[in-house]
């Protein structure tokens, strides 16, 4: 039989594992990876039940309870670390450049990055905006291609979940947004 501290360490490791899997599973759900998310969910739930059963066997042991909480915290940090290292998720990269950005746009297109361009007006005159939605792991490649123009651009890289959009989904999101007037939101559309 394991000693109370050994059980606490086991609980902590189990929780660190299941919470890490939960973090990755959530990212996979957002990204629409329908095969990976359920598989991770299976292992997450199984590991959780094992950890919880160890805690409930002896609720008088403060070490296992502390291990349960510490494992949750460690799992959150580990899941975030793994997601970052694996380059999971998508981001929007925006380049805002005074004047014309034709050369930068062409360089990014030649590197096979799909993008959208916009013309606008800034404080000092016309600006060009180039927007790309890329996997996080591709951001360094985008910035390498854009290196010759970076001194002339304002660059933003932001986390924005990329998922399939439809009119019903957009309307439903607006309906739930705090401070949005119902008069501005179209009738609910059913798919």
Full 3-state SS string of the chain: CCCHHHHHHHHHHHHHHHHHHHHHHHHHHHHCCCCHHHHHHHHHHHHHHHHHHHHHHCCCCHHHHHHHHHHHHHHHHHHHHHHHHHCCCEEEEEEEEECCCHHHHHHHHHCCCCCEEEEEEECCEEEEEEEEEEEHHHHHHHHHHHHHHHHHEEEEEEECCCCCCCHHHHHHHHHHCCCCCHHHCCCCCCC
Q: Quote the pTM value.
A: 0.59
Task: Encode the chain (191 residues) as per-residue pLDDT tens digits.
Answer: 558 889 999 999 999 999 999 999 988 887 777 888 899 999 999 999 999 999 999 888 899 999 999 999 999 999 988 887 877 777 889 999 998 999 999 999 999 999 999 999 988 899 999 999 888 888 889 989 999 998 888 888 875 443 444 555 555 555 555 544 444 444 333 33
> Which residues does residue 129 pair with via DSSP β-bridges, in sequence order?
96, 118
């Amino acid at each position: 039989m394991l000693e109370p501290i050994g059980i606490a360490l086991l609980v902590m490791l189990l929780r660190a594992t299941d919470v890490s899997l939960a973090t990755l599973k959530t990212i996979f759900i957002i990204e629409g990876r329908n095969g990976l998310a359920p598989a991770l969910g299976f292992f997450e739930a199984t590991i959780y039940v094992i950890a919880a059963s160890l805690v409930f066997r002896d609720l008088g042991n403060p070490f296992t309870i502390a291990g349960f909480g510490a494992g949750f915290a460690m799992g959150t940090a580990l899941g975030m670390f793994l997601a970052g290292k694996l380059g999971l998720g998508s981001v929007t990269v925006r380049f805002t450049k005074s004047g014309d950005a034709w050369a930068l746009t062409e360089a990014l297109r030649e590197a096979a990055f799909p993008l959208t361009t916009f013309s606008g007006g800034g404080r000092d005159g016309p600006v060009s905006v180039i927007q790309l939605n890329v996997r996080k792991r591709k951001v360094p490649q985008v910035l390498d291609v854009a290196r010759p123009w970076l001194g002339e651009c304002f660059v933003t890289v932001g986390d924005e979940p990329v998922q399939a959009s439809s009119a019903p989904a957009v309307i439903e999101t607006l309906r739930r947004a705090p401070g949005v007037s119902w008069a501005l939101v179209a009738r609910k559309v059913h798919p």
